[in-house]
């Protein structure tokens, strides 16, 4: 009869493969029983993971290495099984936690080893270019503030590579001075080797432009009020300055006028401090067909 193993049990851990014999002797009856077991000892089974470096959106490869030839692999990403992956390598683009389990089957017995790795992808650094820029590269325009534009994506990058309309320019400087219209783009490599792109659409438009200070002090460092004007015809320029009651205190037909804060520009008749409004009438140097245009603004007279 086969003994019932419901009582005391003895377990052993074989150190090597081979045939193991065991004899059981009943202390009650003196009867003995023999059993034979063929044990296969695989030994230690370990798994390690290694990932290649990648930047955001680029693929990376995770490689599982075992100390013994494994038969199958299973993978998870952030705890969720990755379907259709049974090889020792996994290609992906997502940052997160990856885990692998390797299996080895010998003589009907399966051993498994597991490990995991946190994959962090490199960040791309964005540039600082404006989406659009406008220049007036008319030969008559010699003002470097308007006949060109300096494209500056930022100084924190390791390398620069400029393009115009997707054609390489062979320029690798941190900034580029654009004097023609077109789509200017740049490849930017940051300190960890990740590449980003930035671009500016440069257009040609010779529109009139008028700027000036919002305050002045006649007895100060800047004693006169004036306006910077670009792409404006000298022959059709007029400026009118009014006090708060609508009284005109100054008028000029000179584009390079200077108002010293006096009635009709007379220092002997100083206008009181306060806010003064102005109206500028002008024509575009490059689009005279648009007719007379107006710009309104204000300036504070300080005393």
Owning domain of residue 282: 209-301
Indicate the average pLDDT of the chain: 90
Q: Note whether residue 14 is domain-resident.
A: no
pLDDT 10s digits, 47-104: 999 999 999 999 999 999 999 887 799 999 999 999 999 999 999 999 999 999 999 8
Q: What is the sign, positive or negative, of the torsion defined by CA atoms of 11, 15, 17, 20?
A: negative
Q: Do 200 and 213 reside in the same domain of the chain?
A: no
pLDDT 10s digits, 210-228: 989 999 999 888 899 999 8
pLDDT tier, 290 (very low <50, low <70, confident <90, very high otherwise): confident
Surface-to-core class of residue 241, CB atoms within 10 Å of its CB (0-12 exposed, 13-18 middle, 19+ buried): buried
CATH number, residue 139: 2.60.40.10
- Provide the token pair at 33: 């029983």
> Is the full-model pTM beyond 0.85?
no
* Last-in-domain residue among 89, 119, 149: 119
pLDDT tier, 1 (very low <50, low <70, confident <90, very high otherwise): very low
* Last-in-domain residue among 160, 181, 204: 204
Percent of the chain with pLDDT over 70: 93
pLDDT 10s digits, 130-176: 999 999 888 877 888 889 999 999 999 999 999 999 999 999 999 99
Q: Do 223 and 244 reside in the same domain of the chain?
A: yes
* Residue 270, beta-bridge partner list: 262
Q: Note whether residue 24 is domain-resident.
A: no
Token pair 């798994």 is found at 47
* Last-in-domain residue among 87, 119, 151: 119
Q: Count the domains in the chain.
A: 3
What CA–CA distances, in Å, run from 154 to 80, 82, 144, 175, 182?
40, 40, 21, 8, 20
């Amino acid at each position: 009869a086969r003994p019932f193993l419901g009582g005391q049990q003895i377990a052993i851990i074989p150190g090597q493969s081979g045939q193991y014999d065991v004899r059981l002797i009943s202390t009650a009856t003196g009867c003995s029983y023999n059993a034979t077991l063929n044990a296969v000892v695989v030994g230690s089974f370990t798994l390690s993971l290694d990932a290649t470096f990648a930047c955001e959106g680029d693929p990376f490869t995770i490689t599982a290495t075992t100390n013994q030839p494994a038969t199958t692999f299973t993978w998870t990403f952030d705890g969720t099984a990755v379907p259709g992956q049974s090889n020792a390598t996994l290609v992906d683009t997502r940052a997160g936690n990856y885990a692998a389990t390797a299996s080895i089957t010998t003589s009907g017995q399966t051993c498994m080893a597991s490990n995991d790795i946190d994959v962090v992808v490199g960040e791309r650094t964005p540039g600082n270019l404006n989406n659009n820029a406008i220049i007036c590269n008319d030969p008559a325009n010699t003002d470097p503030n308007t006949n060109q534009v300096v494209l500056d994506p930022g100084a924190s990058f390791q390398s620069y590579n400029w393009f115009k309309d997707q054609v390489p320019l062979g320029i690798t400087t941190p900034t580029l001075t654009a004097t023609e219209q077109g789509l200017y783009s740049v490849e930017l490599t940051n300190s960890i080797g990740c590449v980003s792109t930035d671009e500016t659409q440069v257009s040609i438009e010779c529109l009139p432009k008028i700027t000036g200070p919002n305050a002045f002090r006649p007895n100060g460092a800047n004693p006169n009020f004036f306006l910077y004007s670009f792409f404006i015809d000298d022959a059709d320029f007029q400026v009118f300055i009014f006090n708060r009651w609508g009284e005109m205190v100054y008028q000029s037909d000179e584009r390079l006028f200077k108002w010293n804060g006096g009635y009709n520009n007379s220092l002997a008749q100083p206008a009181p401090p306060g806010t003064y409004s102005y109206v500028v009438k002008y024509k575009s140097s490059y689009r005279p067909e648009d007719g007379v245009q107006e710009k309104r603004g204000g300036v504070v007279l300080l005393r």
